[in-house]
Amino acid sequence: MVELAVPLRAERVTALFGKKPAVKDVSLDFPSNTVTAIIGPSGCGKSTFLRCLNRLHELSPAGAVRGRVLLDGTDIYDAGVNPVGIRRRIGMVFQQPNPFPTMTIYENVAAGLRVDRRPSKAEADGVVERALRDAALWDEVKDRLRASPLALSGGQQQRLCIARTIAPRPDVVLLDEPTSALDPMSTQAIEELVQELKRDFTVVIVTHNMQQAARISDSTAFFYLGEMVEHGETAAIFTSPREQRTEAYVTGRFG
Amino acid sequence: MMPRAVRRRVFSRLMTGLTLLAAVLALAPLFAIFADLVIRGASSINLDFFIRNPAAAGQTGGGVANAIVGTLIIVGVAGAMGLPVGIGAGVYLAEYGGGRLGGVVRFLADVLNGTPSVIVGIFAWTWVVRPMGHFSALSGAIALAVLMIPMVTRTTEEMVRLVPHSLREAALALGFPRWRTTVRIMVRAAWPGIVTGALVAVARIAGETAPLLFTTLGNLNFKTDVMQPMQTLSLQIYVFATGPFEEWHRLAWGAALVLMALVLLVGVVARAATQKRFRDG
- AA identity, residue B159: M
What single-letter DSSP state applies at residue B62?
B
Q: Do B175 and A102 touch (CB under 8 A)?
A: no
Q: Do A100 and B164 touch (CB under 8 A)?
A: no
From residue A66, how far is each of A19, A31, A49, A62, A71 by CA, in Å?
12, 22, 11, 13, 16
Q: What's the pLDDT tens digit per position in A56-108?
A: 999 998 999 999 999 999 999 999 999 999 999 999 999 999 999 999 999 99
Euclidean distance between the first and the last CA atom of chain A, given in angstroms as a whole number: 29
pLDDT tens series, chain B, 281 aa: 678 999 999 999 999 999 999 999 999 998 999 999 999 999 888 999 999 988 887 788 888 999 999 999 999 999 999 999 999 999 999 999 888 999 999 999 999 999 999 999 999 999 999 999 999 999 999 999 999 999 999 999 999 999 999 999 999 999 999 999 999 999 999 999 999 999 999 999 999 999 999 999 999 889 999 999 999 999 999 999 998 988 889 889 999 999 999 998 988 887 777 775 665 44
Residue B3 confidence (pLDDT): 86
Tell me if B169 sits within 8 A of A55, measured CB to CB. no
Q: Do A94 and B173 touch (CB under 8 A)?
A: yes
Q: Which residue of B has its CA nearest to A83?
A: B175
Q: Helix, strand, coil proportions of chain B in percent (round to 5)?
A: 75, 0, 25
A105 found inside a domain: no
Query: In chain A, what residues touch B167 (CB-CB under 8 Å)?
Result: 98, 100-101
Query: In chain B, what residues touch A96 (CB-CB under 8 Å)?
Result: 166
A51 found inside a domain: yes
3-state DSSP assignment of residue A241: coil
**CATH code, residues B72-231:** 1.10.3720.10
Query: In chain A, what residues touch B279 (CB-CB under 8 Å)?
Result: 146-147
Query: In chain A, what residues touch B281 (CB-CB under 8 Å)?
Result: 143-144, 147
- The domain spanning residue A70 has which CATH number? 3.40.50.300
A214 found inside a domain: yes
Tell me if A23 sits within 8 A of A49, measured CB to CB. yes
Average pLDDT, chain A: 94
- Would you list which residues of chain B are within 8 Å, Cβ to Cβ, of chain A? 164, 166-167, 169-177, 180, 185, 188-189, 191, 276, 278-281
What single-letter DSSP state applies at residue B181?
I
**Which of A88, A100, A115 has its CB closest to that of B170?**
A100
Q: Which residue of A has its CA nearest to B167?
A: A98
What single-letter DSSP state applies at residue A95?
S
Total number of domains in chain A: 1
Query: In chain A, what residues touch B175 (CB-CB under 8 Å)?
Result: 84-85, 87-88, 112, 115-116, 168
- Provide ipTM, 2 decimals: 0.93
CA A238 – CA A220 distance, rounded (Å): 9
**Which of A85, A99, A100 has its CB closest to that of B175?**
A85
Residue A254 confidence (pLDDT): 76
Query: In chain B, what residues touch A164 (CB-CB under 8 Å)?
Result: 170, 174
Q: Is the pLDDT of residue A143 over 50?
A: yes
Decide if A165 touches B, using CB distance below 8 A.
yes
Query: pTM for this structure?
Result: 0.87
A&B contacts, CB < 8 Å: 71
Domain edges within chain B: 72-231
Decide if A161 touches B, using CB distance below 8 A.
yes
Decide if A101 touches B, using CB distance below 8 A.
yes
Domain range for A172 is 8-98+168-250
Residue A1 confidence (pLDDT): 45
